[in-house]
């Protein structure tokens, strides 16, 4: 192409579905669309509304289309804003655990653990090893659950309906395990400050191991359906390419950053909850397109299985050990003692009515399935939290949609949204 | 727990040499993260130094704390992460409650756009220089700032905007089923 | 045709033909409830699990979970409704053609749930009429299937022939409690709506 690009115009190169490169010149700067100018043809403003099967929750995207090309993309969020940060200030540290489940509701236990760890950092409360191991097991199970949702929903959005049923069938198996351990399928709220609510029983651990043994074969089935699939490849390859620098500019972490090529995983770089004792690998992509993000997440599921197996081995070795701290300023005493001992009764009363964390601020970041999930907690020494800010990776993922989508074909929007992977519960809080 | 604490000494040195002459006050935090308080006017200078000279390549969050009724009322907090040196830093500043305003860092990191919009939405803090500073989580016509301490948890007339929209919907609908129920 | 005006009159008052038409129409409607999943948050995941393989609602006729309101008759409000989303939810409800039913799945849509905050609608019946409330956070898919079965029993008690003769129906809005009271489908009133009443010659009150 020997044409030079005149000032004020942008040459955008689209990639056709079969890899053929087409060039189309848009004669306006991105973001400045003069819709009244008749020379530019008609732009259609389309609203991918808050209720849409492919927006993974209540996300609204205002798209200005020039034919099939997206000219302007503006995500609008806030349709699920439930006021969680304000709720934390009203309720108190302990009661907010229940709300943390509902943040990224496809991986409830991960959010619980992240919040508990932030509070433990603020209060300087050590967690016993068995508690940490159970947390690792649950966090990795949550990661698998979240990636299964990603696979299932992205596939069904792109037309591969069977994947939805396969992944949800596996999710049901994990739900059964969690139901046996925590009593609830999802939104379990099983983590407490200082450890876990209750210990994991050997029968449940055995069932988890049985599931872990058969799950890698299931991942092979998913890969057999998608990885070499021509349609999947065409809809995801070279679409939504993010470079490492772009990821850093846009605060993207997690699988999005790793697919771009950077080896950054908080479980390895800034380990918490005993992750330094586990042997696992961190998958990294090459180009940073939707296909790489898919491959990274599938491989992460395999690595999570490895971690879970190691966690179960450690649990067998530490059977009978403490799973929750015994710091009676923050941890409820066992009920039998509450009913029989005066001191424990007073502890119970104090914790339930006005538990205060020491004055100060703390931030703890965990590696969730979407990126860096962190809780910034600030306390002024009273029983009322001063501030609890939830650093949600989904917010940054949503922010990156225009970066990837502008200039592309509209059907790529679905691939991009699916591959960026966000959950509106944590985006809107 | 985190191994961040092991490199705190090196981090502090690096940040001090990067910030050079800009006034900054070191704070001790309960999680051991290097934290500094700066003056609101120094925001751009400090952030540029952190990015270009201290190697903090990505922003983690931008948030605010309302310390009503203390003055200065708002604390604005930024957190950064250095993937090359594997450490973190937090920067704080205090701004008054009357017309709270602070400079935007979207010029340095475009990814802070949403976080700053959220601070504006929740606290009413104006980020000077931010193109497109409008509400993020609350609807556009909302006239309160929810995360301020003097705003009640249950809200003030939470259904006002919906009722107005509903009235307009009923007025223009010819169907009885839509205009009366 | 008998008395058509009594609100709690029994189906047999309207005559044999009307009863048979009612029975056929209700049978067709209850066995092909196509859900409109308004999956807003966590309950939406359980809704997807319900449509999934283990708790298949396709076996109850609710297979075609189309996301277009124009093609659905059962709106399942699954998740927390915020005031901002309320406009969209009301528009979707209005776009659904009659006859339509609404299930408020989960406590967030029934009553605001655990969120008594500045942005959450305290129950979806503040903006549209609801037929069934399913408690739970989230309710197990079994519970929602149970509620669909109960809705089917409720539909059996309707009198569409009378509706046809009477014309346009408007729901009731109680401005005192600010709630929509009853979906406008003319189902026979019962005092204990959680029980199934047999369509016998009795007055319908237990």
DSSP bridge partners of A192: A195
Nearest chain B residue to C112 by CA: give it.
B154
Q: How many CB atoms lie within 10 A of CB C173?
A: 18
Longest dimension (CA), chain A: 88
User: What's A255's DSSP letter?
Assistant: H
Contact A261/B at CB under 8 A: no
B138–A78: do the CB atoms touch at under 8 Å?
yes
C84–A49: do the CB atoms touch at under 8 Å?
no
C88 compared with C166, residue with greater pLDDT: C88
- E-strand stretches of C27-168: 35-39, 74-78, 101-105, 132-134
Contact A145/C at CB under 8 A: no
Q: Which of B138, B162, B164, B170 to mutate to test the interface with C (most CBs of C within 10 A)?
A: B162
A62-114 pLDDT, tens digit each: 998 887 888 888 999 999 999 999 999 999 899 999 999 999 999 999 999 99
Query: Which residue reads 């806030």 in tokens?
Result: A78
CA nearest to C193, candidates C177, C182, C179: C182
Residue C125's pLDDT is 87
Give me the percent of chain A exceeding a pLDDT of 90. Answer: 64
Q: Rounded to the nearest 5 degrees, what angle is found at the Cα of A112, between the Cα atoms of C43 and C86?
A: 35
Locate the domains of chain A by residue range. 10-76, 84-391
Residue C201 lies inside a defined structural domain of this protein = no
Residue A293's pLDDT is 93
CA nearest to C186, candidates C99, C61, C103, C90: C99
CA nearest to A41, candidates A64, A67, A10: A67
Q: Rounded to the nearest 5 degrees, what angle is found at the Cα of A317, between the Cα atoms of A311 and A321?
A: 95
A91-102 pLDDT, tens digit each: 989 999 999 999
Ramachandran angles phi, psi of A19, nearest 5°? 90, -5
Closest partner CB to C88 (pick from A51, A424, A425): A51
Cα A193 to chain centroid distance, Å, stands at 22
Cα–Cα distances in angstroms (integers) from residue A250 to residues A243, A426, B107, in the given order? 11, 17, 12
B1–A121: do the CB atoms touch at under 8 Å?
yes
Closest partner CB to A121 (pick from B30, B60, B81): B30
B neighbour chains, 3+ CB pairs within 8 Å: A, C
Nearest chain C residue to B166 by CA: give it.
C87
Sheet holding C132-134, edge to edge: C35-39, C74-78, C101-105, C132-134
From chain A residues 287-306, the ones with a CB under 8 A of any chain C CB are none
Residue A34's pLDDT is 60
Name the helix (H) or strand (E) containing B101. Answer: strand B101-103
- Residue B153, judged by CB atoms within 10 A of its CB (0-12, 13-18, 19+), counts as middle
Residue C3 lies inside a defined structural domain of this protein = no
Helix/strand number for chain C, H first, E second: 6, 6
Cα–Cα distances in angstroms (integers) from residue A77 to residues A62, A390, C88, in the given order? 11, 16, 13
Name every chain A residue with its beta carbon within 8 A of the beta carbon of B29.
360-362
Q: Is the pLDDT of residue A13 over 70?
A: no
B141 — pLDDT class (breaks 50, 70, 90): confident
Q: What is the pTM of this model?
A: 0.87
SS3 of B50, please? helix
Which spans in A266-367 are helix H?
Answer: 266-269, 290-317, 335-340, 342-354
Residue A284's pLDDT is 92
ipTM: 0.90
CA nearest to A290, candidates A247, A257, A259: A259
Cα–Cα distances in angstroms (integers) from residue B77 to residues B9, B61, B64, B112, in the given order? 21, 8, 6, 12
Tokens linked to A153? 């929903």
Name every chain B residue with its beta carbon within 8 A of the beta carbon of C88.
none
Nearest chain B residue to C90 by CA: give it.
B166
Interatomic CA distance for residues C158 and A406, integer angstroms? 51
Distance from CA of B177 to the nearest CA of C (A): 5
From chain C residues 13-52, the ones with a CB under 8 A of any chain A CB are 38-42, 44-46, 48-49, 52
> A407 near A26, Cβ under 8 Å?
yes
C119–B158: do the CB atoms touch at under 8 Å?
yes
Domain A84-391 has CATH 1.10.8.60: no
Closest partner CB to C171 (pick from B158, B169, B181): B181
Closest partner CB to B30 (pick from A252, A358, A396): A358
Q: Rounded to the nearest 5 degrees, what angle is found at the Cα of A216, between the Cα atoms of A212 and A221?
A: 135
Name the helix (H) or strand (E) containing A134. Answer: helix A129-158
Name every chain C residue with its beta carbon within 8 A of the beta carbon of B155.
117-119
Q: Mean pLDDT lowest for which of A278-287, A337-346, C129-138, C157-166?
A: C157-166
Distance from CA of C56 to the nearest CA of B (A): 33
A194-237 pLDDT, tens digit each: 999 999 999 999 999 999 999 999 999 999 999 888 999 989 98
Which spans in B43-159 are helix H?
Answer: 43-52, 113-123
CATH number at residue C172: 3.40.50.12280
Distance from CA of B141 to the nearest CA of A (A): 13
Residue A68's pLDDT is 83
C38-80 pLDDT, tens digit each: 889 999 999 888 888 888 888 888 877 777 888 888 999 999 9
Locate the domains of chain B by residue range. 3-153
The angle that helices A129-158 and A411-420 make with each other, rounded to 10 degrees, is 170
Conformational region of residue B144, where left means phi above 0, alpha means psi within -120 to 50, and beta covers everything else = beta
Q: Is the pLDDT of residue B173 over 60?
A: yes
> B76 near B95, Cβ under 8 Å?
yes
Tokens linked to C38? 């308004």
Nearest chain A residue to B78 by CA: give it.
A376
Q: What is the mean pLDDT of residues B14-22?
A: 82
> A84 near A99, Cβ under 8 Å?
yes
Q: Is the pLDDT of residue A146 over 50?
A: yes
C187 compared with C171, residue with greater pLDDT: C171
Name every chain C residue with its beta carbon within 8 A of the beta carbon of A86.
117-118
C106 compared with B13, residue with greater pLDDT: C106
How many domains is chain C built from?
1
CA nearest to C86, candidates A4, B133, A51: A51
Residue B180's pLDDT is 61
Contact C197/B at CB under 8 A: no
C98-140 pLDDT, tens digit each: 788 899 999 999 998 899 899 999 999 888 888 889 999 899 9
Nearest chain A residue to B5 by CA: give it.
A270
- Looking from the CA of C67 toward its CB, the CA atoms found within 13 Å total 16
Q: What does the mean pLDDT of chain C come to?
A: 78
Contact B152/A at CB under 8 A: no
CA nearest to A143, candidates A6, A31, A311: A311
CA nearest to A178, candidates A146, A130, A141, A134: A141
Distance from CA of B156 to the nearest CA of A (A): 13
Name every chain A residue with its beta carbon within 8 A of the beta carbon of B1.
117, 121, 272
Residue C15's pLDDT is 77
Residues in chain A, overall count: 429
Give me the percent of chain B exceeding a pLDDT of 70. Answer: 91
Domain assignment of residue C126, given as a range? 16-195
Interatomic CA distance for residues B23 and B46, integer angstroms? 9
Q: What is the 3-state secondary structure (H, E, C) of A75-123?
A: EECCCCCCCHHHHHHHHCCCCCHHHHHCCCCCCHHHHHHHHHHHHHHHH
Name every chain C residue with its beta carbon within 8 A of the beta carbon of A154.
none
Q: Is the pLDDT of residue A420 over 70?
A: yes
From chain A residues 178-237, the ones with a CB under 8 A of any chain C CB are 185-187
B33-45 pLDDT, tens digit each: 889 999 999 899 9
Cα radius of gyration (chain C): 17
Closest partner CB to C118 (pick from B146, B162, B173): B146
Closest partner CB to A81 (pick from C46, C67, C119): C119
Name every chain A residue with its beta carbon within 8 A of the beta carbon of C49.
168, 171-172, 175
Nearest chain C residue to B157 by CA: give it.
C118
> A401 near A73, Cβ under 8 Å?
yes
Q: What is the mean pLDDT of residues A44-62?
A: 83
Q: Is the pLDDT of residue B6 over 70?
A: no
Q: What is the mean pLDDT of residues B142-149?
A: 91
Give me the percent of chain C exceeding a pLDDT of 70. Answer: 78
Name every chain A residue with its beta carbon within 8 A of the beta carbon of B35.
361
Ramachandran angles phi, psi of C120, nearest 5°? -100, 130
Cα B133 to chain centroid distance, Å, stands at 12
Q: What is the mean pLDDT of residues A370-397?
A: 93
Q: How many CB atoms lie within 10 A of CB C72?
A: 24
Of 3.40.50.300, 3.40.190.10, 3.30.460.80, 1.10.357.10, the CATH number of B3-153 is 3.30.460.80
SS3 of C55, please? coil
Interatomic CA distance for residues A112 and A99, integer angstroms? 9
Contact C167/B at CB under 8 A: no
A49–C48: do the CB atoms touch at under 8 Å?
no
Residue C14's pLDDT is 62
Contact B158/A at CB under 8 A: no
Ramachandran angles phi, psi of A203, nearest 5°? -65, -40
Q: Is the pLDDT of residue A357 over 70?
A: yes
Distance from CA of C54 to the nearest CA of B (A): 36
Closest partner CB to C118 (pick from B158, B177, B181): B158
Closest partner CB to C84 (pick from B139, B151, B178): B139
């Amino acid at each position: 192409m020997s044409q030079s690009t005149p000032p004020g115009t942008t040459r955008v190169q689209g990639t056709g579905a079969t890899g053929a490169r087409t060039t189309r010149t848009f004669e306006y700067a991105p973001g400045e669309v003069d819709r009244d100018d008749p020379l530019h043809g008609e732009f259609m403003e389309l609203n991918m509304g808050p209720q849409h099967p492919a927006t993974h929750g209540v996300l609204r995207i205002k798209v200005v289309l020039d034919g099939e090309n997206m000219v302007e993309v503006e995500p609008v969020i806030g349709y699920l804003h439930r006021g969680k940060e304000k709720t934390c200030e009203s309720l108190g540290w302990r009661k907010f655990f229940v709300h943390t489940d509902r943040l990224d509701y496809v991986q409830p236990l991960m959010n619980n653990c992240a919040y508990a760890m932030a509070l433990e950092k603020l209060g300087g409360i050590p967690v016993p090893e068995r508690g940490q191991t159970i947390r690792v097991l649950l966090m990795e199970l949550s990661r698998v659950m979240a990636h299964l949702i990603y696979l299932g929903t992205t596939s069904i959005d792109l037309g591969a309906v069977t994947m939805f049923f396969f992944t949800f069938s596996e999710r049901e198996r994990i739900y059964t395990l969690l139901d046996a351990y925590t009593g609830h399928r999802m939104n379990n709220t099983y983590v407490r400050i200082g450890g876990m609510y209750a210990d994991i029983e050997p029968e449940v651990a055995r069932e988890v191991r049985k599931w872990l043994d058969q799950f890698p074969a299931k991942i092979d089935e998913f890969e057999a359906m998608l990885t070499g699939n021509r349609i999947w490849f065409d809809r995801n390859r070279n679409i939504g390419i993010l470079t490492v620098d772009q990821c850093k500019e846009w605060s993207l972490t997690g699988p999005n950053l790793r697919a771009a090529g950077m080896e950054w995983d908080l479980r390895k770089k800034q380990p918490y909850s005993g992750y330094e004792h586990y042997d696992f690998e961190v998958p990294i992509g090459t180009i940073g397109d939707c296909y790489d993000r898919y491959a990274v997440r599938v491989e992460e599921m395999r690595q999570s299985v490895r971690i879970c197996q190691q966690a179960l081995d450690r649990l067998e070795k530490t059977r009978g050990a403490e799973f929750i701290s015994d710091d009676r300023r923050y941890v409820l005493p066992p009920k039998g003692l509450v009913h029989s001992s005066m001191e424990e009764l007073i502890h119970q009363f104090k914790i339930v009515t006005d538990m205060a964390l020491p004055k100060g601020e703390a931030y703890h970041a965990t590696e969730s399935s979407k990126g860096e999930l962190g809780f910034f907690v600030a306390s002024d020494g009273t029983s009322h939290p001063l501030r609890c800010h939830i650093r949600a990776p989904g917010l940054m993922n949503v922010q990156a949609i225009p970066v990837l989508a502008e200039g592309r074909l509209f059907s790529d929007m679905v691939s991009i949204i699916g591959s960026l992977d966000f959950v509106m519960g944590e985006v809107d809080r | 727990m985190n191994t961040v604490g092991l490199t705190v000494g090196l981090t502090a040195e690096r940040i001090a040499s990067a910030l050079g002459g800009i006034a900054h006050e070191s704070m001790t935090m309960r999680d051991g993260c290097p934290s500094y308080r700066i003056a609101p006017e120094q925001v751009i200078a400090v952030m540029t130094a952190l990015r270009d000279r201290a190697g903090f390549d990505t922003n983690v969050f931008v948030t605010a704390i309302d310390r009503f009724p203390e003055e200065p009322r708002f604390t604005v907090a930024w957190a950064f992460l250095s993937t090359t040196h594997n450490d973190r830093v937090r920067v704080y500043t205090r701004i008054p409650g009357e017309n709270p305003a602070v400079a935007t860092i979207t010029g340095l990191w475009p990814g802070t756009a949403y976080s700053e919009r959220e601070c504006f939405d929740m606290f009413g803090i104006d980020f000077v220089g931010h193109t497109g500073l409008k509400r993020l989580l609350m609807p556009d016509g909302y006239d309160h700032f929810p995360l301020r301490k003097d705003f009640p948890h249950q809200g003030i007339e939470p259904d006002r905007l919906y009722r107005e929209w509903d009235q307009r919907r009923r007025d223009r609908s010819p169907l009885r089923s839509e205009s009366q129920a | 045709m008998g008395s058509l005006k009594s609100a709690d009159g029994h189906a047999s008052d309207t005559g044999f033909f009307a009863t048979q038409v009612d029975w056929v129409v209700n049978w067709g409607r209850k066995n092909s409830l196509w859900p409109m999943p308004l999956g807003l948050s966590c309950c939406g995941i359980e809704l997807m699990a319900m449509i999934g393989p283990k708790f298949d609602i396709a076996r109850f006729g609710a297979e075609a979970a189309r996301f277009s309101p124009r093609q659905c008759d059962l709106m399942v409000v699954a998740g927390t409704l915020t005031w901002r989303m309320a406009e969209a939810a009301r528009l979707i409800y209005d776009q659904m053609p009659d006859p339509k039913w609404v299930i408020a799945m989960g406590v967030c849509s029934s009553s605001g749930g655990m969120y008594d905050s500045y942005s959450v609608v305290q129950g979806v019946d503040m903006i549209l009429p609801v037929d069934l409330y399913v408690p739970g956070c989230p309710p197990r898919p079994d519970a929602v299937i149970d509620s669909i079965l109960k809705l089917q029993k409720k539909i059996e008690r309707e009198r569409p022939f009378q509706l046809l003769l009477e014309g346009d129906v408007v729901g009731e809005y109680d401005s005192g409690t600010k709630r929509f009271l009853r979906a406008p489908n003319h189902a026979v009133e019962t005092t204990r709506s959680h029980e199934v009443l047999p369509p016998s010659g009795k007055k319908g009150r237990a």
